[in-house]
Structure formats: structure tokens, C-alpha cells
Structure 1
């Protein structure tokens, strides 16, 4: 059976303009395990994306964390794009920079 992935995009640390951070794209609850996760910055593909090991869950679904280093500048748009056989079009989840006061 095909099970749709859930996608969450969030920063590792609270966002501070000009301070290095890590942007996570956490994808879980999907089956089969073949999945492609990419990032874009302002619509341009980011080449170097790190991922954790694919993890098998007790409910027979999978989870995977992809991440990239970022330096928030207050004007860039980041997106996580997920391609999986259970969805007809890539799932594009945009991350909005939220700055700490």
C-alpha cells in the first residue's frame, strides 16, 4: 500500500538574522521507502543536502530527516520538495524565516 509522507520544515535553533543555523525537512509516515528530498533557496536547487539514515517504524512506515546549513538574511525563501510514489505531484513545503526578538 502507498502511504503519503508527512512533511515538516523547521530550523534547528531559534532564527537570528545573520547567524548560522540548520534547516530541517522531516518526512515521516511514508511507504514504500524510496523517497527524494531536495531543498530550494529562492527557487534554485541546493546541491548539497545531508540526510540521516532511513528509519523503519513499528507501523511499517518510514522516516527520514534531510538538512542544510543556512544563514537567514530576512529575505530568502527556502522550500523542501518531496517526491514519493504515493503522491502525483511533488510536495513543496515553504519555510518562512521567523526571527527571534
Structure 2
């Protein structure tokens, strides 16, 4: 049985906004007031999310997700990875090799 987690985003600005989805290498353009939902099917260790806001875009980085979908205007688009998946390392990951850790944003270690 799979577990799914979803996040909803709404463009609350008066201009277009880009939602960038990584590591899927996809983006979605949101009109003012438009909503979009991202649904992720969790892998064995559960999903991880990192959201980074910028002036005209939002970055959503997912990890631990086997599959993901974007639902926009009632249309569902399944995201396919654009890379080959690698096996998990045998050792516990450190902060410097965790894709959800950003040294520029996470100043306190």
C-alpha cells in the first residue's frame, strides 16, 4: 500500500508565477489566483520536501518520492524523473550530501 502526500500552491500575486519542480526538471506557470496541487507517492523512507520562494518563482524539491503528479485545472500530469536513479548509500548521509540541505539557506548547523 502506498502513501501519498500533497502540497497545494496558490499564486497570490498579480503577475505570473513559476513553480519549479525538482528533481523532475519541470515547471508550471501559475496565473494570478490560480491553484495547483502536487501529489507525491512516498518511497520506503517517506517523502521530504523543501520549498524556496523567490521574487517570481517557487522551487519545490522532493526527495524520497517514487512518483509525483501535478494537478492543474483538473488535469493530472504524472512527473517522470529525467535522470537515472542511484541506489541509496550504505552510510548515513551527511549534511553536505543531503539534497534538501542548502548551505546558503541553512546557516545554523
Output the TM-score relative to the length of structure 2: 0.38
Specify the structure having the higher radius of gyration (Cα): 2
Higher relative contact order (CA 8 A, sep 6+): 1
Compute the TM-score of the two structures, normalised by the length of structure 1. Answer: 0.40
